[in-house]
Amino acid sequence: MALFLSTFMNKLDKKGRVSVPASFRLVLSGQSFQGIVAFRSYKFPAIEGMGLDRMQRLSESVDQLDLFSETQEDLTTSIFADAQMLGFDGDGRIVLPQILLDHAKIAERVAFVGQGATFQIWNPEAFEAHQNEARKRVQEKQATLKLRGDHA
Amino acid sequence: MALFLSTFMNKLDKKGRVSVPASFRLVLSGQSFQGIVAFRSYKFPAIEGMGLDRMQRLSESVDQLDLFSETQEDLTTSIFADAQMLGFDGDGRIVLPQILLDHAKIAERVAFVGQGATFQIWNPEAFEAHQNEARKRVQEKQATLKLRGDHA
DNA sequence: CAGATTATCCCATTGAATCCCATAATTACC
DNA sequence: GGTAATTATGGGATTCAATGGGATAATCTG
């Protein structure tokens, strides 16, 4: 399996640790850095999470752009400067830094939300509301997913 | 790991030394020169930092521009002439020369800011303001980083 | 060349991050 | 439905990074 799927609820302990869901850890198990990279979403009160390999690919993409464009600067400052490398402890837990907790308004319970190639970390109540909104919008638009390479 | 990620706040001591974050040192640990190369940013009141290997690549890129063009002259003068090689002491610290401190208006506290393949050194307050601006612009533009070779 | 100043090396301290083990809860499997 | 294996959680012990300061070496200056 190589996709982050489903939603998992775990708890923050007093030291600020949370278990990363076992299935998410499995997705990352092939990577050299055993842990996740996390940064504040600039669209939602949530945390964006992924493996280091994806960050490296992002960096390579950025290197191709104009070396001195403003957009590139803004993106690296919003993403790389904000990103935290959070390594697993021996039991598959990470420590979420305060700045991320504040941004996502996470206190006790933590929702790990699969997004395919990446995942998000939410306050459970906030995520539920967000998900309801999303489902409503999809329904209204009758949005359809076009499958790549599918000519049906 | 080969990326400069996250932002770290360290302190200048009376002798003008700062610890380079351990994770940044790890990125540079494979290089022959154990230290960083630093020069004044010409866009921000900040210091640009990187490993010597990247400077060498930068040199090659500049070489591909028109020889003797005004742009090339300006770049080499702004970057290579200004660059300082700052070696680590036994504890992973460097001494920031006065001309760099002045340019970045750094007094006591120092922010090391990851930018992927490179990093920056800022006055913490100045950086916070700068990052907020960058995040706002990214949000407004709905800018996203496209992954190379990713057709999603 | 002597004295003064600056830079480099080395070690001590502290506080935070990490490791390690114990227990509880959940899931999978006979 | 009971047992084993995996996963989640809690807390003590240990390690390591950041920092401060003294000692030694190099440089400048008159």
Contact A18, A122 (CB under 8 A): no
Backbone angles phi, psi at A19, to 5 degrees: -75, 130
Average pLDDT over residues B9-37: 94
Strand A35-40 vs strand A93-95: parallel, antiparallel, or unpaired?
unpaired
pLDDT, tens digit, 9 for 90 and up, residues A13-56: 989 999 999 999 999 998 989 999 999 998 999 999 999 999 99
Burial A33-44 (b: 16+ CB within 10 A, else e): bebbbbbbbbee
pLDDT at A147 over 70: no
Domain ranges of chain B: 7-141
CA of A12 to C1' of D11 (A): 14
Contact A127, A8 (CB under 8 A): no
pLDDT at B17 over 50: yes
Residue B33's Cβ-count burial label (10 Å; 0-12, 13-18, 19+) is middle
Query: What end-to-end distance do the CA atoms of chain B give, in Å?
Result: 26
Q: B113 contacts in A (CB within 8 Å)?
A: 77, 81
Closest listed residue to residue A76, CA positions, set B19, B105, B4, B149: B4
Specify the CATH architecture of the domain B7-141: 3-Layer(aba) Sandwich (3.40)
Tell me which residue in B3, B43, B130 faces A59 most closely, judged by beta carbons: B3
Of A59-63, A99-103, A134-138, B61-65, give the lowest mean pLDDT range: B61-65
Q: A37 contacts in B (CB within 8 Å)?
A: 5
Average pLDDT over residues B70-82: 80
